[in-house]
Chain A
Amino acid sequence: MRYLPKSPAERQQMLSAIGVSSIDELFAPIPAQFRLTRDLAIPAQMAESEIVDWFRARSNENATGYDILLGAGAYNHYRPLVIDSLISRGEWFTAYTPYQPEIAQGTLQAIFEFQTMICELTGMEVANASMYDGSTGAAEAVMMAIRITGRSEAILARSVHPEYREVIATYAKYQGLPLTEVAFTNNGRVDLAALDAAINTQTACVLIQSPNFFGTIEDVAAIAEVVHAKGALLVVSIAEALSLGIVRPPSEADIVSLEAQSFGVPLSYGGPYAGVIATREKFIRQIPGRLVGQTTDRNGKRGFVLTLSTREQHIRREKATSNICTNQALVALMVNIYMDVYGRVGLKELAEQNLAKAAYARNTLGEKAKILFDGAPRFNEFVIQTREDAYEISHRLASKNKIIGGFPLRKFYPELGNAAVWCATELTSRAAIDAAASEVNL
């Protein structure tokens, strides 16, 4: 086996040194009746070239080279080549959690930079080293709000990504946390009156998403006012991080849960991505996950370490803020590199291009279908309603035009009928938008 660095003679030499006559003796602790006496029924060893061929065939069975007019929580943005060039260095991807800071300063400093950039983007004071993704990050943010307030209920906007809400429901189910949902109005935004009525003295937090699942940008300041007036916390989930290049950050929020996939992370059929929780400094001891802090070494030199670990499971066990142990360090590194490539000016310009493409797509498709939720601002997504079934359109676009069309909303929002949420990014060509529009019928 090509990954194993030993000759038969060396194995024999080691067995002799240990003082056993065969390898089987080392497996004696496993009771005989449980020792596998046959080969595993899996395919035989393959050459590297065969493995590449097999995966290339799978890759070709998938949509390749399609135009993607679909977002809904996973966004198709250009990935600068320096990202994969850098993260392919073994020093990055074959290291582990930086437990020994003397030989992990690279990872630690990169995370510290990442935390700083997330604060700058979101308008928050502190950010953690990352969470699994936006959905689990949102669930952890809700649990964090419950710890902070000592209250036990949470309200989720119905315009939050449906799968995020499902994940939160799973996390909440056995922790005695009743969840309720609050409706959206016909401009796609949270219904403020309904929200005001829904919050009670046991409401720990209200979770909204902005831009929300329909692409609509919420009036965060107005929502915060309602939420804070009743002593609850506002948690803002952001699935399309690039919106922050041009959309006002949710600085009135108490906790921001960001999915950073848009920043240089491959779509990769839904993961790995990177969530991150950002919040106010005063809530720092309730934040889940890893945190990197600055310190000095014994010679007074600046350096970085994992810090505030008394919140975490390896110290606190069942009293920890979360059971989370890993973060998404390598993905956070991609995000860091991406933000360096575009920087202060580029992120804004890129966001402006997204805004322009989506406006063109909305207008073009809007000539052939009804635009929903038109009364509020949006970033790079919009909802159109058609007479034809949204799945039919999607299948036709895929097979005929090599276009991945909008996400049909019927499954999660039956009241919206044949509606779908579409997305245009800097990678969406005018030609693709025109082609998609030609397949949508009034």
Chain B
Amino acid sequence: MSNADITKVTTNISQNEGLIFEHSSPGKKAYRLRALDVPEVDAAAELGSALRTESAALPEVSEVEIIRHFTRLSTWNYAVDHGMYPLGSCTMKYNPRVNEAVARLDGIAGAHPYQPEQSSQGTLRIMKALADQLIEITGMDAITLQPAAGAHGELTGILLMRAYLESKGNARKKVLIPDSAHGTNPATAAMVGYQVENLRSNENGMVDLAALEAQMNEDVAGLMLTNPNTLGIFEEQIAQIAEILHRKGGLLYMDGANMNALVAKARPGDFGVDMMHLNLHKTFSTPHGGGGPGSGPVACKAHLEPFLPKPIVVESADGRLRLDYDRLQSIGRVRAFFGNFGMHVRALAYIMANGPDGLCQTTEDAVLNANYLRKKLEGTFDLPYSTPTMHEVVFSDKFQAKLGIKTGDIAKRLIDYGFHPYTVSFPMVVHGALMIEPTESEPLEELDLFVDAMKSIAQEAIDSPELIKNAPYFTRLSRLDETAAARKPILRWKPERK
């Protein structure tokens, strides 16, 4: 194989573009203010010593330069709109356009969070509708939409755990976390004052029940479990896991990062989960935006409801909606206002577009796509766990590593084939992991191209490993020096000294 054999992509003109500061020249502008309809004031007299004497050195550019600058920059990004983006555990699905349109309606995008409730019935109705539907989807009893992201949801969930246990007289000391967990789980537990105790996986990639039984005691507040876990494996013994925890007074927190495997097929509330977060930017199609904003609602069972952050939206008998702040046992606020409301709008639009049958088909297609890739790539890449997988599959670079090619190298080469790489080197329970989550959004054609690309790279590892080690070739830049970036950090632009 060689670069000439790659058919999915071809090279194209790509505009060079400097930093916006490098276009700046005094006197250029991209705005015009309205004429002032009130008397001017003397800023120096108004502000005294608080007056800013030197303006911030922001760029001075025209409107067309701004448009070109950000359009050029945008073309350097790979995005879901370009093609498959199989980052495992990130659920990079299609972001519907109607979501964006409705989030920008005047009464929604222009709503001030402190406008009176009488003027906020529409926004409150959106939050109430989303809350009700997420409760039905998760099989839980109550929910808060306040957390701004998945990790923020985890924080909220573990705060609920702690508040609940404290109300029972003992907050306990430790939280159990499987070795396959996302790094946010232990970081979260630490933020809530818990020690983290590692829980090892068994040979099937699932929670080791005997280990759990042995580690569970009255010092353990609970378990943070991702289900399906980061290997894409559903914890078949979930009911027993919940039972072991509950028997000793602990709680089961579910990290809902992988909920795209379960929606309309199984409900965490039915299998013993006490509370969980959802990632609206994963399962419910709100855009990832280059790293955010996300949204991480936390759903819980009735026994945890009194502790939810305040306020929550409640409906009065006459159908009016209001914000209830009068919640004595609440953990308090985790964010100002009501969370990332714009994401609530988008998630609700997604659920409405799907309905019960659409959500079910979505989950089926997500699992179908992952299993198709698994079947097609099994044998070419090492599959460390033969346990059935759901919405994502984790291979290892074991076969290729013998030839000196690591998962990170395969990822870089995949870029040349026109794909965003999978998640590299995670979960940590698999050495040299390739974590692949296609989501439901991929047509068969795209999946087949991905299979071809992966097989082709595996062949290159045998025939011409140097080709892979120097990849990518078709990008603007290749193999950026991350070590140098960290050793002597340059975190801002400065004008060149003349």
Contact A39 B360 (CB under 8 A): yes
Q: When the two chains form the complex, which single residue of A107, A133, A308, A349 contacts B486, counting CB atoms closer than 8 Å?
A: A308
Chain B residues, CB < 8 A from A19 = 375
B40 in the interface (beta carbon within 8 A) = yes
B155 in the interface (beta carbon within 8 A) = yes
A388 in the interface (beta carbon within 8 A) = no
Could you tell me the distance between the alpha carbons of A267 and B57 in the complex, rounded to whole angstroms?
Answer: 27
Residue of A nearest to B96 (CB): A3
Could you tell me the distance between the alpha carbons of A88 and B353 in the complex, rounded to whole angstroms?
Answer: 20
Chain A residues, CB < 8 A from B353 = 1-3, 45-46, 48, 51
Could you tell me the distance between the alpha carbons of A356 and B39 in the complex, rounded to whole angstroms?
Answer: 7
Contact B151 A92 (CB under 8 A): no
Could you tell me the distance between the alpha carbons of A3 and B152 in the complex, rounded to whole angstroms?
Answer: 29
A245 in the interface (beta carbon within 8 A) = yes
Could you tell me the distance between the alpha carbons of A99 and B78 in the complex, rounded to whole angstroms?
Answer: 11
Which of A76-84, A144-152, A199-207 is near enough to bind chain B? A76-84
Contact A45 B108 (CB under 8 A): no
Q: Which residues 292-349 of A sit at the B interface, judged by CB distance below 8 A?
A: 292-299, 301, 303-305, 307-310, 312-320, 322-331, 333, 336-337, 339-349
Could you tell me the distance between the alpha carbons of A28 and B371 in the complex, rounded to whole angstroms?
Answer: 13
Which of A124-132, A180-188, A190-198, A228-236 is near enough to bind chain B? A124-132
A-contact bits for B106-141, CB 8 A (1 contact / 0 none): 111111111110111111011000000100110000
Could you tell me the distance between the alpha carbons of A135 and B337 in the complex, rounded to whole angstroms?
Answer: 9
Could you tell me the distance between the alpha carbons of A219 and B126 in the complex, rounded to whole angstroms?
Answer: 42
Q: When the two chains form the complex, which single residue of B116, B148, B341 contacts A136, counting CB atoms closer than 8 Å?
A: B148
A158 in the interface (beta carbon within 8 A) = no
B-contact bits for A50-65, CB 8 A (1 contact / 0 none): 1110111111111111
Could you tell me the distance between the alpha carbons of A244 and B159 in the complex, rounded to whole angstroms?
Answer: 36
Could you tell me the distance between the alpha carbons of A36 and B287 in the complex, rounded to whole angstroms?
Answer: 28
Contact A34 B270 (CB under 8 A): yes
Chain B residues, CB < 8 A from A304 = 480
Could you tell me the distance between the alpha carbons of A287 and B114 in the complex, rounded to whole angstroms?
Answer: 31
Q: When the two chains form the complex, which single residue of B96, B101, B236, B440 contacts A31, counting CB atoms closer than 8 Å?
A: B236
Could you tell me the distance between the alpha carbons of A11 and B442 in the complex, rounded to whole angstroms?
Answer: 12
Could you tell me the distance between the alpha carbons of A129 and B292 in the complex, rounded to whole angstroms?
Answer: 11
Contact B52 A356 (CB under 8 A): no
Residue of A nearest to B239 (CB): A31
> Interface extent on A, as a size class?
35 or more
Contact A103 B78 (CB under 8 A): yes
Q: When the two chains form the complex, which single residue of A72, A85, A120, A346 contacts B31, counting CB atoms closer than 8 Å?
A: A346
A248 in the interface (beta carbon within 8 A) = yes
B211 in the interface (beta carbon within 8 A) = no
Chain B residues, CB < 8 A from A100 = 78, 411-412, 415, 420-421
Chain B residues, CB < 8 A from A46 = 352-353, 355
Chain A residues, CB < 8 A from B367 = 23, 26-27
Contact A29 B388 (CB under 8 A): yes
Which of B42-50, B246-254, B399-407, B458-466 is near enough to bind chain A? B42-50
Contact A34 B266 (CB under 8 A): yes
Residue of B nearest to A68 (CB): B112
A359 to chain B, nearest CB (A): 5
B210 in the interface (beta carbon within 8 A) = no
Contact A245 B52 (CB under 8 A): yes
Chain B residues, CB < 8 A from A399 = 118
Could you tell me the distance between the alpha carbons of A130 and B472 in the complex, rounded to whole angstroms?
Answer: 29
A360 in the interface (beta carbon within 8 A) = yes
Q: When the two chains form the complex, which single residue of A296, A310, A328 contacts B293, counting CB atoms closer than 8 Å?
A: A328
B498 in the interface (beta carbon within 8 A) = no
A-contact bits for B19-35, CB 8 A (1 contact / 0 none): 11100101011110110
Chain B residues, CB < 8 A from A136 = 148, 152, 334-335
Contact B53 A326 (CB under 8 A): no
Contact B349 A51 (CB under 8 A): yes
Q: When the two chains form the complex, which single residue of A26, A171, A246, A293 contacts B43, counting CB atoms closer than 8 Å?
A: A246
Chain B residues, CB < 8 A from A171 = 191, 334
11 additional A-B residue pairs with CB within 8 Å, beyond A40-B137, A316-B187: A3-B353, A14-B444, A40-B356, A41-B356, A43-B355, A55-B108, A90-B80, A109-B76, A170-B309, A170-B331, A355-B46
Query: Which 6 pairs show the lowest CB-CB distances between chains A and B?
Result: A270-B337, A330-B289, A90-B81, A59-B107, A45-B355, A270-B113
List 28 interface pairs A-B (beta carbons < 8 Å), by A numbering: A45-B358, A59-B105, A66-B115, A73-B336, A74-B113, A80-B31, A93-B100, A94-B80, A95-B77, A103-B475, A104-B78, A112-B492, A174-B171, A268-B341, A269-B111, A269-B123, A269-B337, A270-B113, A271-B339, A272-B148, A284-B491, A295-B490, A329-B289, A330-B291, A341-B30, A342-B30, A348-B55, A355-B41
